[in-house]
Amino acid sequence: MNILITGGAGFVGSNLVRQLQSTQPDAELLVVDDFRSGSFANLADEHGQGFSYRGEVIARPLHELDLGGLVEDFQPTVIFHEASITDTTVTDQAQMIAHNVEPFGVLLSLAAEMQIKLVWASSAATYGTTANGATRARRPFHLNDAGQPANVYGFSKWLMENLARQTMGDYPGAHIVGLRYFNVFGPGESHKKHMASMIYQLAQKMLAGDRPRIFHDGEQARDHVYVKDVVECTLAGAEAGAVSGIYNVGTGTATSFNQIVASLNEALGTSYEPDYFQNPYSFYQDYTCADLSATKEGLDWEPAYTTHEAILEYADELKARHNASA
Quote the pLDDT of residue 319. 93
Quote the pLDDT of residue 50. 63
Quote the pLDDT of residue 45. 65
What does the DSSP 8-state code read for residue 85?
-
How many angstroms from the chain centroid is the CA of residue 47? 19
Active site residues: 153, 192
What does the DSSP 8-state code read for residue 261?
H
Out of 133-137, 171-175, 307-311, pick the least confident: 133-137
305 Cβ neighbours under 8 A, 6+ residues apart: 226, 228, 229, 251, 313
Angle, in degrees to the nearest 10, between helices 102-114 and 93-100: 10
Quote the pLDDT of residue 49. 61
What's the chain's average pLDDT? 94
pLDDT 10s digits, 138-167: 999 999 999 999 899 999 999 999 999 999
Mean per-residue pLDDT, 215-220: 95
Q: How far apart are CA 15 and CA 9, in angstroms?
A: 9
Quote the pLDDT of residue 265. 98
pLDDT 10s digits, 75-95: 999 999 999 998 888 889 999
Is 132's pLDDT higher than 80? no
Residue 281: pLDDT band (50, 70, 90) is: confident
Domains defined for the chain, CATH in brackets? 2-184+226-250+284-303 (3.40.50.720)
Q: How far apart are CA 33 and CA 28, in angstroms?
A: 17
Number of Cβ within 10 Å of residue 186's Cβ equals: 25
Quote the pLDDT of residue 273. 97
Quote the pLDDT of residue 52. 84
Q: How far apart are CA 162 and CA 228, in angstroms?
A: 28
Residue 245: pLDDT band (50, 70, 90) is: very high
Mean per-residue pLDDT, 300-317: 97
Quote the pLDDT of residue 133. 76
What are the backbone angles phi and psi of residue 178, rounded to the nearest 5°? -105, 140
Q: How far apart are CA 63 and CA 211, in angstroms?
A: 43
Percent of the chain with pLDDT over 90: 83
Which whole-number Å values give the CA distances from 150 to 7, 110, 282, in the listed order? 24, 30, 11
Is 47's pLDDT higher than 70? no
pLDDT 10s digits, 165-209: 999 999 999 999 999 999 999 999 998 888 999 999 999 999 999
Mean per-residue pLDDT, 55-71: 96
Q: How far apart are CA 285 and CA 282, in angstroms?
A: 9
How many angstroms from the chain centroid is the CA of residue 36? 15
Quote the pLDDT of residue 48. 57
pTM above 0.75, yes or no: yes
The answer to whether 188 and 15 are in contact (CB under 8 A) is yes
Quote the pLDDT of residue 51. 76
Quote the pLDDT of residue 276. 97
The answer to whether 124 and 180 are in contact (CB under 8 A) is yes
Residue 325: pLDDT band (50, 70, 90) is: confident
pLDDT 10s digits, 106-119: 999 999 999 999 99
